[in-house]
Amino acid sequence: MSGGDKLDFEIRPNPAPVSVADRATLLADPGFGRVFTDHMVTIRYADGKGWYDPRVEARAPIPMDPASAVLHYAQEVFEGMKAYRSVDGGVTLFRPGANAARLNTSAQRLAMPSLPAPVFLDSLHRLVEIDREWIPEGEDGSLYLRPFMFASEVFLGVRPANEYLYCVIASPVGAYFSGGVKPVTVWVSPNYTRAAPGGTGAAKCGGNYAASLAAQAEAIEAGCDQVVFLDAVEQRYVDELGGMNVFFVYDDGTVVTPPLTGTILPGITRDAILTLAAEAGHRVEERPVSFADWQSDAAGGRLREVFACGTAAVVTPIGQVRFPDGEFTIGGGEPGEVTMGLRQQLVDIQRGKAADPHGWVHRVL
C-alpha cells in the first residue's frame, strides 16, 4: 500500500472492550482527557514507501525503542477536535478540513511528511464510527479527538526522521466548565515567551507546549488559571494563551484579535469567531494589541470584554489580568454580552441547533 489519497483501513475490533456498565460510569463524569475509548487509529510512514499499514485497532501502548527520534528531538505535531452529537441524532465534526490542512502546515514546519487530507478525514470517520457509543449524551459532552504524528525512526542523528507513526485516539469529555462558564484570571509572564519570529509558534507541536509549562506553572503559583504570552521580540504585544487565542471587545463594538504573523497558532475557533462577529455587525480587526493599551483601555472603560478561544473550552471569558506589578479587572470580572453571544452562536452551529451557512459542520454518522 503506497501513500495515495485513499488507504484501505484494516479494522481489528477490540476483543475486550469496556463493558456497557463500566462505560456508562466513565461517561457520567469523564472530565477532560483522562478517559479513553476502546480503539485507536495507526498509520505508518517510511521514506520511499509512503503511508502504509492503516489500522483501526484496540487502543494499547505503543512499543517504542528508547532511541526513537521523537523522544530526543521532539519531532511531533498534533491536532485537537471534537465529534458532537447533533440535535437530530447524528454525529458531526466541525471544519475537519481545516484541521487536515493545519496538521500538514505543522508537519511541514517540523520537516515531517504530509498526510493526504482524505486519509486524515477517513481516519476520524473510522474511529468515530467504531467508538460512537463513547460520545457522551449530554448537552455539553463531546468526543475529543487527538490525531498526532511523530518520528518513530530509531536513530540519534539530528535530521528529519525517515519513519513516522500517525495515530488518532479519542477521549469523551464533559462540560469544560462544570457549573456554568466562569471567567478566568490570566498571568502575564515577565520571564517567558512562547514563540519567536521564524520559530514554531504557528505549528501545533508538542514542543511549544513543553516550552509553555514553566510559564503555566508560574501562572498557577501567582494564583492564576492561565498564562498569556507577550511577543518575544519587544515583550510588548499580546500573542495568545498557552493553548488558546485571545480577543478584545471595545465599547464601540469593535472586536480585535492579534494578527497571524507566524508566532500565533491559527485557531479554527479564532477563524470562526472572526466570521461570526463580522456577520453580527461588529467591526472586526486583526491588529497588534499592546499590553500597555490593554491595561489603560481596561482602566478607562473603553475595553469592555476579553476572551480566549479554542476547541477544548470554546470561548472562555477573561475577567482578571495579573502581572508582577499589579492586576486589573475587565468588565467587572463578569462574562461579557458579546463574549457569551458569540460563544452561544458557535455552540449552536456545532450542535446543529443553528443554521450553518458556511458549511462548517461535517456529518460523520
Ligand X SMILES: *Cc1c(COP(=O)(O)O)cnc(C)c1O
Q: Are 82 and 94 in contact (CB under 8 A)?
A: yes
Question: 146 vs 322, which CB is nearer to ligand X?
Answer: 146
CA distances from 118 to 3, 96, 182, 348 (A): 11, 10, 38, 27
Least distance from ligand X to the Cβ atom of residue 89, Å: 25
Q: Which is nearer to ligand X, 263 or 295 (CB)?
A: 263
| Interaxial angle between packed helices 268-279 and 337-350, expressed in degrees from 0 to 180 and rounded to the nearest 10 | 110
In angstroms, the CA 122 to CA 125 distance is: 5
Write out the catalytic residue numbers: 204
The amino acid present at 48, given as its one-letter code, is: G
In the complex, minimum distance from the CB of residue 212 to ligand X, in angstroms, rounded to a whole number? 8
Tell me how far apart the alpha carbons of residues 283 and 294 are, in angstroms, rounded to a whole number.
18
Contacts with ligand X, residue ranges (CB under 6 A): 80, 204, 240, 243-245, 265, 267-270, 310-311
Q: How far apart are CA 27 and CA 135, in angstroms?
A: 8
Give the nearer residue to ligand X in terms of CB position, either 51 or 120: 120
CB of 194 to ligand X, least distance (A): 7
CB of 103 to ligand X, least distance (A): 11
Output the furthest CA–CA distance in the chain (Å, rounded): 63
Please answer whether residues 212 and 200 qualify as being in contact, where contact means their C-beta atoms are separated by less than 8 angstroms: no
Q: Considering only CA atoms, which of 80, 57, 32, 30 is closest in space to residue 126?
A: 57
CB of 97 to ligand X, least distance (A): 12
Residue 322: strand, helix, or coil: strand
Query: Does an H or E element contain 278, and which?
Result: helix 268-279
Which CB sits closer to ligand X, 80 or 341?
Answer: 80
Compute the residue count for the chain: 365
The residue among 193 and 269 lying less far from ligand X, judged by its C-beta, is 269
